[in-house]
């Protein structure tokens, strides 16, 4: 798949309502460029402009609302990005890891192939433009319909149309960002601590084991928990950052659901604020509690493997 995409980079396409796309017999606009294929339904196909001309070669295809593009051009703002609905980009793994260390507003990874990640990118500001706004309500409905279709259909179609792509999804919570920094950002300082092993923190640099960080960073997604769920009582392992001002508590529990609850405690001006997360792993047998316990015990035991079955 990677070779197919790189071979297609040499092709140059002008900004056009059709581009390399083709109108099918049912009136839908079929887009197929560099291995990325999706279909714009007939009722929306006449409203969009498809752009496949990417100067930096990361963006495979972008879709704009044509009326906004034309309105901005009439106002002398043709390079403003007006009317942008979405782009599909292919980003190398190393760059994705850098991005995951911070906020990825407007970027959603949805698939991977070899060392490339495919990202659905959307604007984080308003791109709806009109020269005059007499029919603003109807025009906004049209713009909203395009965004709704894109958000619900495009990524799923791309995966369905290309069996070489593997679905992949990352969340971008505060927990995601800190775990990514620990795993991928050189110079990130963090410590581990287990309350039942004494007050002193465990220094991961004594025995750095990347597998545990990779499991937390690559094989799990994290969700903010609603008020209906509460953190369990009892002991926990701690992953701490920023000289202890931000810490994540991994509960030492035997309850299967509670094993994937993680509490963030953030100290601001002497006050503590908490956020509760729920982890979901690609392997349903994995849990946040067990991964952290294995990591902590490996360091505490000077490198001896820890078997969490011993707790049963």
What average pLDDT does the segment 92-120 reach? 96
Q: If you average pLDDT over every residue of the chain, what do you get?
A: 85
pLDDT of residue 15: 36
308 pLDDT more than 90: no
303 band by pLDDT with thresholds 50, 70 and 90: low
What average pLDDT does the segment 200-219 reach? 76
Please tell me the pTM assigned to this model: 0.84
Q: By CB neighbour count within 10 A (0-12 exposed, 13-18 middle, 19+ buried), where does 79 fall?
A: exposed
277 band by pLDDT with thresholds 50, 70 and 90: very high
Please state, in angstroms and rounded to a whole number, the distance separating the CA atoms of residues 221 and 215. 10
14 pLDDT more than 50: no
Does an H or E element contain 290, and which? helix 288-300
pLDDT, tens digit (0-9, with 9 covering 90-100), for 28-47: 899 999 889 999 999 999 99
User: Of 35-44, 47-56, 76-85, where does the model show the most confidence?
Assistant: 35-44
What average pLDDT does the segment 80-89 reach? 94
E strands, 28-146, are 29-33, 36-40, 48-51, 59-65, 84-92, 107-113, 116-121
Q: By CB neighbour count within 10 A (0-12 exposed, 13-18 middle, 19+ buried), where does 87 fall?
A: buried
Task: Lowest mean pLDDT of 113-117, 134-138, 180-184, 249-253, name the range.
Answer: 134-138
pLDDT, tens digit (0-9, with 9 covering 90-100), for 281-296: 999 999 999 999 998 8
Task: Lowest mean pLDDT of 95-104, 194-203, 216-225, 226-235, name the range.
Answer: 194-203
204 band by pLDDT with thresholds 50, 70 and 90: low
264 pLDDT more than 90: yes
pLDDT of residue 7: 33
DSSP-derived secondary structure for 9-42: TT-----BSSTT-EE-TTS-EEEEETTEEEEE-H
pLDDT of residue 170: 96
pLDDT of residue 262: 96
What average pLDDT does the segment 225-233 reach? 82
Give 202 or 224, the one with higher predicted confidence: 224
């Amino acid at each position: 798949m990677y070779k197919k995409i790189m071979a297609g980079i040499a092709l140059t396409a002008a900004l056009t309502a059709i581009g390399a796309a083709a109108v099918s017999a049912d009136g839908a606009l079929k887009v197929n460029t560099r291995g990325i294929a999706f279909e714009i339904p007939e009722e929306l196909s006449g409203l969009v402009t498809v752009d496949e001309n990417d100067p930096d070669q990361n963006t495979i295809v972008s879709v704009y609302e044509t009326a906004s593009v034309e309105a901005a051009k009439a106002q002398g703002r043709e390079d403003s990005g007006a009317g942008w609905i979405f782009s599909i980009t292919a980003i190398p793994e190393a760059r994705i890891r850098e991005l995951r260390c911070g906020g990825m507003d407007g970027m959603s990874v949805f698939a991977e192939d070899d060392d490339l990640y495919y990202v659905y990118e959307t604007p984080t500001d308003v791109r709806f433009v009109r020269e005059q706004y007499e029919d603003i309500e109807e025009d906004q409905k049209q713009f909203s319909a395009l965004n709704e279709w894109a958000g619900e259909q495009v990524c799923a179609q791309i995966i369905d149309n290309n069996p070489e792509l593997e679905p992949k999804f990352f969340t971008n919570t505060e927990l995601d960002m800190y775990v990514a920094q620990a795993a991928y950002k050189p110079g990130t300082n963090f410590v581990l601590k287990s309350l039942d092993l004494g007050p002193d923190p465990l220094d991961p640099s004594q025995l750095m084991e990347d597998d545990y960080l990779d499991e937390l960073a690559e094989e799990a997604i994290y969700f903010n928990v609603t008020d209906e769920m509460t953190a369990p009582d009892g002991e926990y392992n701690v992953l701490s950052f920023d000289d202890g001002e931000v810490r994540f508590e991994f509960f030492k529990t035997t309850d299967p659901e509670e094993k994937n609850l993680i509490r963030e405690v953030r100290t601001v001006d002497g006050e503590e604020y908490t956020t509760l997360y729920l982890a979901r792993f690609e392997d349903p047998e994995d849990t946040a509690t067990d991964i952290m316990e294995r990591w902590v015990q490996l360091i505490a035991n000077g490198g001896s493997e820890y078997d969490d079955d011993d707790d049963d």
